[in-house]
Amino acid sequence: MTLETLVNDYKAKTSRSRQMYEEALRVMPGGNSRTTTFFDPYPFFITRGAGARIWDADGAERLDFNGNYTSLILGHAHPSVVEAVAEQATRGMSFPGPSEHEVRLAGLLTTRIPSMEVVRFANSGTEATMNAVRAARAFTGRSKLAKFEGAYHGTHDWVLVSVSPDPAKSGSRKRPKPVASSGGVPDTVLKHTVVLPWNDAEACVKILEKQGRDIAALIVDPLMANAGLLEPQPGFLERLREVTERLGIVLIFDEVISFRVAPGGAQQRFGVRPDLTTLGKIIGGGLAVGAFGGRAEVMNYYDPRGGKGRISHGGTFNANPVTMAGGVATMQELTPEAYARLDALGDRLRAGVKRVLSKSKQAAQVTGLGSLFWIHWTKKRLTDYRSRVPADAERPLRTFMGLLNDGVLLTQRGLGCCSLAMTDADVDRFLEVFGRVVEKEA
C-alpha cells in the first residue's frame, strides 16, 4: 500500500483532529510544541487514555504501544498513580521548598540503583543529561563530551550532535565526525564533542586514549534505544568502563529509556557500574520528570552548602510534589513480579513479530529487551547506527500509518513498548493487525 493511500485513509478518519490542527497552525509554528510527535499530514489530537488504550478527538480507540514514547510503564491513568497525584494536588501543586515525596522517591531510586549513591530531580531527561554533563565537567575540570553516533540524549546543545546524521557526511565509520543535529547548535559544541562508533570497542578505545585527557564524560545509552535498540555486544560496556576509569573520564549511563528493563535498569541487567546515571520518563508516573545521580564525590558539586566549584541547580518545578507522588506510586507498582510480566509481554510480542515476518518473507527483524521492541525493515546484521539506517526510508512510516488506521499506535520510527496495563490478548491483537499491515505491503 502506498503512503498516499494510507494518508488518505488517515485523513478520512481524523476530521476533528484536522480542524484542531488548523486552529493550532494559527498560534504555533507548525501547530506544534513537540517535534517528536509530529507527522504529516497532521498528528491526531488525543482526548483520553485509560490502561492500554488511547482515544482521539474523533472518538477512535487505539491500543497504545507508544506509551508516550516509553514513559507509561503502568499504562494510562493507573489507579494508584491517579490517587497519589490527586491526593497531593488537593494539598497543593507546587511549593517553594522540598516535600516528603521527594525524599521517598530518592530513597526508592538509590535503593534500586546501587551506583546512584545520591540523586537530584529535574523536569525532563534533557535536564538530567545536561546536569550530569555539567557535574562531570566541574568534577574533572575538562570540557569535552564523548557520545555515540546515533544516540539521543535530549534537546540541549551539548547532546544535539550526530543524533541521526547522514552517514555520507559523517566521516568514517571508525572515526565518526561530529555533525550538528539541529539548527542553532554553535560550532564550539562540535569542537567539544567526540563521537564514537557503537559496538566497536577497539575504535572507541583508540579515540578515547588519544583525546582522553580533555574528555570530561562519556555519555552512553546502554541500549541505544533511539538508534534502534541495539544491544551492546558482550564485553563492550565493560571495555568502556575500563577505559574511562583508566583515563579519569566520568561514565554516564543515560537510562531515561533503558531503566525499563530491570528494577535497577540496564546497568543491573548488564552488570556494569557507571559513575553517573540519568533517568526520566517512567519515574514520574506520567508527569514531567528527570533525575541524575551517582557517585557522591561527583554529585557533591551540587551541594548548596557551598564548597569549591559549586554548581547552582535551580528550577521552579524541580522535584515538584505532584510528580514525586506519582513517581513513588509508580515505583511501588514496579515489583519483581511486574518486571517478569513486562518481560513476558515483550517476549510474546517479539516472538510473534518474528513469526509474521518469516511467514511473509519480509527482509525485516525485531530488536529489543524486556518490554521494549523495535521493528527494523532490513535483514542486515544490526550493530551500530549506520547498519540500521533503513534502505526504504519510508517503510517505518507506512507501518506506523497502517497500524494507526487499524487501531494500533506505535512510534513513527518503529520503537514500541508494552505496559503493565496490557494483557496477552492485547499483544495478540497487535500481532494480528501487524500481520495485516505486512500482508498489504507484500
Ligand X SMILES: Cc1ncc(COP(=O)(O)O)c(C=O)c1O
Q: Judged by CB under 6 A, which stretch of 73-81, 180-188, 253-261, 316-324 contacts ligand X?
A: 253-261
Residue 152 interacting with ligand X (CB under 6 A): yes
Lookup: cell for 428: 495478540
* Shortest separation between residue 5's beta carbon and ligand X, angstroms: 31
- Which stretches within 212-273 are classed as H helix? 236-247, 265-270
- Out of 281, 301, 385, 426, the active site residue is 281
Residue 18 to residues 198, 222, 394: CA-CA distances in angstroms? 41, 39, 22
Cα(408)–Cα(433) distance, integer angstroms:
8
Cβ-based nearer residue to ligand X, 126 or 277:
126
Radius of gyration of the chain (CA): 22
* CA-wise closest residue to 251 among 238, 261, 262: 238
Q: Pairing relation of β-strands 250-254 and 276-280?
A: parallel
352: left (phi over 0), alpha (psi -120 to 50) or beta: alpha
Which of 256, 261, 328, 334 forms a contact with ligand X (CB under 6 A)? Answer: 256
Residue 149 interacting with ligand X (CB under 6 A): no
* Shortest separation between residue 441's beta carbon and ligand X, angstroms: 28
Q: Judged by CB under 6 A, which stretch of 8-16, 93-101, 110-118, 121-129 contacts ligand X?
A: 121-129
Kindly determine how many residues on this chain lie close enough to bind ligand X according to the rule CB under 6 A: 16
254 is known as an active-site residue: yes
Cβ-based nearer residue to ligand X, 6 or 237:
237
152 is known as an active-site residue: yes
The helix (H) or strand (E) run that includes residue 292 is strand 290-294
DSSP 260: G
Residue 153 interacting with ligand X (CB under 6 A): yes
Which residue has the CB atom at the shortest distance from ligand X? 125
Cα(268)–Cα(286) distance, integer angstroms:
23
Largest separation between any pair of C-alpha atoms in the chain: 65
Cβ-based nearer residue to ligand X, 17 or 131:
131
Q: Judged by CB under 6 A, which stretch of 18-26, 131-139, 151-159, 314-322 contacts ligand X?
A: 151-159
Single-letter residue type at 399: T
* Shortest separation between residue 225's beta carbon and ligand X, angstroms: 5
Q: Pairing relation of β-strands 415-417 and 372-376?
A: antiparallel
Residue 126 interacting with ligand X (CB under 6 A): yes
* Shortest separation between residue 131's beta carbon and ligand X, angstroms: 12
Binders in 271-300 for ligand X, by CB under 6 A: 280, 290
Q: Are 43 and 28 in contact (CB under 8 A)?
A: no
Q: Are 245 and 271 in contact (CB under 8 A)?
A: no
Q: Are 86 and 80 in contact (CB under 8 A)?
A: no
Single-letter residue type at 363: A
- Out of 42, 152, 302, 339, the active site residue is 152
Which of 14, 66, 115, 124 forms a contact with ligand X (CB under 6 A)? Answer: 124
φ and ψ of 357, to 5 deg: -65, -40
Cβ-based nearer residue to ligand X, 256 or 403:
256
Q: For 64-86, b where at least 16 C-beta lie within 10 A, e where not — what string?
A: bbbbbbbbbbbbbebeebeebbe
Which of 154, 176, 285, 326 forms a contact with ligand X (CB under 6 A)? Answer: 154
Binders in 162-191 for ligand X, by CB under 6 A: none
392 is known as an active-site residue: no
Cβ-based nearer residue to ligand X, 55 or 69:
69
* Shortest separation between residue 398's beta carbon and ligand X, angstroms: 23
Q: Judged by CB under 6 A, which stretch of 122-130, 138-146, 352-360, 413-421 contacts ligand X?
A: 122-130
| Binding track over 218-247 against ligand X, x by CB under 6 A | ---x---xx---------------------
- Give the residues lining the site for ligand X (CB under 6 A): 69, 124-126, 129, 152-154, 221, 225-226, 254, 256-257, 280, 290
- Residues serving a catalytic function are 152, 254, 281
